[in-house]
Amino acid sequence: MSFTARFHEVAAEVRNWGRWGEDDRLGTLNLLTDEVVAAGAATIRSGRRVSLALPLSRDGVQLGQVPGRVNPLRSMHCINNPDLGDADGLAMVPHFNDDHVVMGLQAATHWDGLSHVSYDHKLYNGVPADSVTARDGATVLGIEHVRTLVGRGVLLDLAGAAGLAQLDPGTEVTGEMLDAAAAFGGVEIRPGDIVLMRTGRIQAFRDGGAHLYMMGPGGDAAQPGPGFDAVRWFRRHDVAAVAGDTYIFEVFPGPEPADMLAVHCLTVVEMGLTQGQNWDLEALASVCVEEGRYEFFLTANPEPFVGGCGSPVSPVAVF
């Protein structure tokens, strides 16, 4: 099975290969220029801050569908250790507690790096897919190249604009819906914006845990999210990055079985668009209403794992 003719038509429209040079490692994050970031910083007025990250917990969103993508497993390797020597614990010297963690880099709130997806043996910008190796990970498009990811954030409250608490499972987000959400929030999308899409789906995790979040009440795993028309919208508006509050990011399973998960290929491979999943946008939506605006300064720097194909992130919106 291969992608449909419609997929290839959209791919030709949105492709950014070579746009920022043959050796580009950042894709659409190149749109976060100094001027764009400075304009984003100008949205800070009250100083109010909102976290958009899920807790890093062993009770996270992972159910084992993706082998190896385990919830964070934190454990102690040092408890009240007397580094300066104090075997009986009576001396007045420092004692230290240290811990470590095992987790999938895409386990909780995260960014997908540009090495996360390939098709037809190619990553973004034509980089060979075999540049990702078992030993070193992403040898060309590792997440460590993203040293900063900050700028003007815009919340597109898709559910709120539709008058719903949550979009229905399997809803395909279109460009028209994104425009309606922008109008609902009174925001104009600018080149270099970091767009956050609220479907309301994360409420399922908060209310019923990972199984309800992933499978829904019907047990069919259908997820709302952007389809091909939304990808055209991302490219047309030259957004720098996009994140959402669902597990899969894109509409699932989508209208055409042959194009299942094809949005990942269009955004990451063709556009070089950094995309995020499992972002908690519920508090943000409430604060946007209270502040009377849907724009803010967003800081969402990935951890610089060398060779990483993605990274956990703890995003903060600042009003």
Domain ranges of the chain: 5-67+106-318, 73-102
Mean pLDDT of 295-308: 98
Q: Label residue 1 by pLDDT band (50, 70, 90).
A: low
Upstream peptide bond of 191 is cis (omega within 30 degrees of 0): no
149-182 CB burial, b ≥16 within 10 A, e <16: bbbbbbbbbbbbbbeeebbebbbbbbbebbeebb
Identify residue 3 by its one-letter amino acid code: F
Tens-digit pLDDT profile for residues 33-49: 999 999 999 999 999 99
Q: In Å, what is the CA distance from 52 to each residue of 92, 238, 278?
A: 41, 23, 9
Q: What's the mean pLDDT in 185-212?
A: 97
Q: Which pTM was predicted? A: 0.96
Lowest mean pLDDT among 8-12, 13-17, 142-146, 220-224: 220-224
Confidence of residue 178 (pLDDT cuts 50, 70, 90): very high
Q: Does 70 have pLDDT greater than 90?
A: yes
- What is the pLDDT, as a whole number, of residue 87? 67
Q: Of 170, 152, 167, nearest to 223 (Cα)? A: 170
Model confidence pLDDT, tens digit, residues 88-139 = 666 778 888 999 999 999 999 999 999 999 999 999 999 999 999 999 999 9
pLDDT confidence of residue 89: 65
**What confidence score (pLDDT) does residue 143 get?**
98
Q: What percent of the chain has pLDDT over 90?
A: 90
**pLDDT class for 72, splitting at 50, 70, 90?**
very high
The CATH number fitting domain 5-67+106-318, selected from 3.50.30.50, 3.30.1360.10, 3.90.226.10, 3.40.33.10: 3.50.30.50
* pLDDT at res. 154: 99
pLDDT band at residue 85, thresholds of 50, 70 and 90?
confident
Interval 201-206 mean pLDDT: 96
pLDDT tens-digit series, residues 208-229:
999 999 988 778 899 999 999 9
